[in-house]
Structure 1
Amino acid sequence: MSASEGVLEGSGTSVSSEGVALTVLAALSVSHLLNDAMQSLITAVYPVLKVKYALDFTQIGLITFTFQATASLLQPVVGLATDRRPRPFSLAWGMVFTLVGLLALAAADGFPAILASAALVGMGSSIFHPEASRVARLASGGRHGFAQSLFQVGGNAGSALGPLLAAFVVVRWGQASIAWCSIAALAAMVLLIAVGRWYAGRLSTAGAGARPASRARRADVSRARVAASIGILLVLVFSKYFYLASLSSYYTFYLIEHFGTSIGAAQLYLFVFLGAVAAGTLAGGPIGDRIGFKAVIWASILGVLPFTLALPYANLFWTVVLTVPIGVVLASAFSAIIVYAQELLPSRVGTVAGLFFGFAFGMGGLGAAVLGVLADRTSIEFVYQVCSFLPLAGLLTGFLPSLDRRGVPPTGPTAAARAS
């Protein structure tokens, strides 16, 4: 049993403790909002940086790759380390890297400096996500899907705010105005210090701070089946984040080049898509708590295929309309995938979170880099025609075992024990 699971056994024992858990979940969600708003600002200001520094699409893709790869490589390591010994205040320390990265981006005077800034923001992300996901599960009272969705919806809402900050602040006041956005990092640090104190108190009460994580898995699923299932889930994450990379990194360019929209209008249309992603993220976890996470994964990956196939051939109006169901349906997958994987490996919560968040970031970065090269060699329109087939990977969901996790787990004295 991991240290955090030892804490779970003593949580949720009264109405007041459940209220504190909801407060912690809200603080994590808001911190995630602030964290991802700052991160999405990087991709949102690409049109500004492209014009100012005469960047091509390959260089744009390399910026995303640098940020995403840094987060991808470090997150599994952070997750494994915190499984062995939780570090409650690492969340606030991770935000320091994001703060420094944004300040560096505001002062960057060329492509190498932009890459270095993106790497610092990626380091902050790698520290934040695995441990924050663990604390969200700790504060869930057994409603793991709900907690994971509430945590992640903050991040998606923050990602949606990035284009608005770019449209109304950076486009108007220039690259240096990015420094003002770093105030969000200071606000997040205040919240995360409070969360760290709560977490440290739980660890102290349980006396579990130094206990290493076990290698336990679900007794009803063989080791080989667990390994194969994790592999399938990673393929599904690949398809999801490669497709999302095509929209988060190149959607504004597609709108500008294909339909002749202004930079400001393109940022607003990107906000519509990212807002839909936030809505889908909030829905996926609670629905999975009720009907099972495998069913949500089925619907969210494969169900988006008709919309992605139609997108490259739609006019401007229908392009904007189609991105709404694409965002809602596709985004509902990730919370379900994370919780499903954690159910397969219940004593490796941090490692699973680090692996999947890290892989998601890595695939997003690799996707941005590969699609940037493809766009330079062909066209931005061709990129969307190719990516429209990625959701076919959802057919692999049929090979996942059914874990029969249905219904919302009860709250109260026994809920946390049943969740461990």
Structure 2
Amino acid sequence: MGDSSPTAATKSRSLLAACLTHALHDGYTDGLYAFMPVWQVQFGLSYAALAVVRALYSATMGGLQIPADQALRAVSPRAALILSTGVASTGLLIMALPFGFAGLCVGLVVAGIGSSIQHPRGSMLVTDSYGAASRRPLGIYNFSGDLGKAVLPALVAVLLPILAWRPVLGLMAVLGSALAVALVSLAPAARVIRNAPAAAAAGRGRDGFRILTTIGALDTATRMGYLLFLPFLIHGRGGGSPSVGLALALLFIGGALGKATCGWLGERLGVVGSVMVTEAATALLIAATLFTPLTPTLILLPLLGIVLNGTSSVLYGTVPELCDGDTGRAFAVFYTSVIGSGGLAPILYGAIADHSNQTIGVLASAATAVLIAPLVLALRPHLRGPTVGSCKRSV
């Protein structure tokens, strides 16, 4: 089937629609961390129970990525993004209503269902619109998620001392509804159908992809485990809700910078060298934040964000090299693995902290980064040979 290439204006609107949706949904995802200390007090939750509650959203979002992508392939980008944003906003609205702990849990699941649609459909919209020239637009799309992670958690933390947590969630739901209305004029009403790429040979790329996916899962586990404890680390140093919001914003701003920095590092050190460096730095900086007062901790957080989040850009860019011909499905599997890990791993770290203390829980997340070293060494042979199938090396 031939191409039906969109105009430059249509491409720009499509990219803007995907970026705004990505920013909102990633802002929803990480903005929930600012609510956790409040929920812990109001509902009497342990660290492990709090992680389970958080996982209702993240595990739902991660587990439904592939089914949502398959179910909505025939749906227009406009309908998919509006549905995604509308369902996620409805979930936040349910959480904002006075339905108690059950309402909170149901709302998190509904919001997770909505956000499960966004990643595969937003990525597909950008890829369909730009075709072979989609690498830079996809980078802009990924970066927009980090902007959402930086802005919405900070906004939530600023509003929490002024308003109760339920009205703050209500305002977030209103923001999503406003975006859903805007998407009517931004997102295209029909998909751009392009020629399907030739299938790539499986070979050793399949084994390498399994290792890469495991590394991605552990890298995400480290990040999400640390994020579970960060608000409590800040409170333990005398910081209030505004300080928590500032800490999260600094970490996520560093993460956004890390995407560019670690991409540059990957070009010079290669996948193995750059991942080894970033994971070692991650472990050291996580441990350092256990022993620094509030102000030095805030200073360290952007540096930690660079390596904590930047590694993912190196891993993400390696997926095409190890794909088996269906790059879209490979990314969906990779997303499912890392998001699922992000939802489940904090439960383990929370249980560790409940049975020991917060410091041990944080050190467990740092130790996970160290565990990546032997895996990335095992990945080396899969990166050295000739190109796997028709998928070119991208890092």
- The TM tier, using the shorter chain, reads 0.7 to 0.9
- Indicate yes or no: 2:301 matched with 1:313: no
* Deviation string, structure 1 residues 102-136 (Cα, Å, up to 9, x no partner): 10111144222211111111111111111212222
Question: How far is the alpha carbon of 1:285 from its aligned partner?
Answer: 5.5
Determine helix, strand or coil for the equivalent of 1:162. helix
Residues 133 and 343 of structure 1, relative CA distance in 2, 3 Å threshold: farther
Determine helix, strand or coil for the equivalent of 1:171. coil
- Indicate yes or no: 2:355 matched with 1:364: no
2:164 to 150, 158, 174: 174
1:240 to 219, 222, 226: 219
Residues 346 and 120 of structure 1, relative CA distance in 2, 3 Å threshold: same
Residues 313 and 170 of structure 1, relative CA distance in 2, 3 Å threshold: closer
- Indicate yes or no: 2:90 matched with 1:100: yes
Q: Which ranges of structure 2 fall in alignment gaps of 5 or more residues?
A: 388-393
- Indicate yes or no: 2:125 matched with 1:150: no
Alpha-carbon distance in structure 2 between the residues aligned to 1:298 and 1:405: 23
Q: 1:77 maps to which residue?
A: 67
Q: How many pairs align?
A: 383
Matched-pair contact (CA < 8 Å) for 1:300–1:331 = no
Task: State the AA in 2 paired with 1:226.
Answer: G
Alpha-carbon distance in structure 2 between the residues aligned to 1:396 and 1:325: 24
Question: How far is the alpha carbon of 1:66 from its aligned partner?
Answer: 0.9
Q: 2:308 maps to which residue?
A: 330
Residues 187 and 346 of structure 1, relative CA distance in 2, 3 Å threshold: farther
- Indicate yes or no: 2:368 matched with 1:390: yes
Question: How far is the alpha carbon of 1:318 from its aligned partner?
Answer: 3.0
Determine helix, strand or coil for the equivalent of 1:197. coil
Determine helix, strand or coil for the equivalent of 1:202. coil
Matched-pair contact (CA < 8 Å) for 2:212–2:315 = yes
Alpha-carbon distance in structure 2 between the residues aligned to 1:144 and 1:191: 24
- Indicate yes or no: 2:383 matched with 1:402: yes
Relative to the length of structure 1, the TM-score reads 0.80
Alpha-carbon distance in structure 1 between the residues aligned to 2:248 and 2:192: 40
Matched-pair contact (CA < 8 Å) for 1:311–1:322 = yes
Matched-pair contact (CA < 8 Å) for 1:241–1:364 = yes
Question: How far is the alpha carbon of 1:142 from its aligned partner?
Answer: 3.6
- Indicate yes or no: 2:17 matched with 1:27: yes
Residues 162 and 196 of structure 1, relative CA distance in 2, 3 Å threshold: closer
- Indicate yes or no: 2:232 matched with 1:253: yes
Residues 141 and 31 of structure 1, relative CA distance in 2, 3 Å threshold: same
Which has the larger displacement, 270-279 or 311-320?
A: 311-320
Residues 394 and 325 of structure 1, relative CA distance in 2, 3 Å threshold: farther
Task: State the AA in 1 paired with 2:224.
Answer: A
* Deviation string, structure 1 residues 191-217 (Cα, Å, up to 9, x no partner): 54445416x2523xx5x7xxxx78822
1:40-189 counterparts in 2 under 5 A? 40-81=30-71, 85=74, 87-88=76-77, 89-140=79-130, 142=132, 144-177=134-167, 178-189=169-180
* Deviation string, structure 1 residues 23-69 (Cα, Å, up to 9, x no partner): 43233222211122223232211122222222222221111111111
Residues 307 and 39 of structure 1, relative CA distance in 2, 3 Å threshold: closer
Alpha-carbon distance in structure 2 between the residues aligned to 1:22 and 1:288: 29
Residues 243 and 291 of structure 1, relative CA distance in 2, 3 Å threshold: closer
Residues 284 and 151 of structure 1, relative CA distance in 2, 3 Å threshold: farther
Alpha-carbon distance in structure 2 between the residues aligned to 1:181 and 1:193: 19
1:267 to 245, 251, 264: 245
Residues 313 and 290 of structure 1, relative CA distance in 2, 3 Å threshold: closer
Question: How far is the alpha carbon of 1:180 from its aligned partner?
Answer: 1.5
Matched-pair contact (CA < 8 Å) for 2:229–2:362 = no
- Indicate yes or no: 2:199 matched with 1:216: yes
Task: State the AA in 1 paired with 2:178.
Answer: A
Matched-pair contact (CA < 8 Å) for 1:237–1:360 = yes
Alpha-carbon distance in structure 1 between the residues aligned to 2:129 and 2:274: 23
Question: How far is the alpha carbon of 1:306 from its aligned partner?
Answer: 3.4
Question: How far is the alpha carbon of 1:379 from its aligned partner?
Answer: 1.1
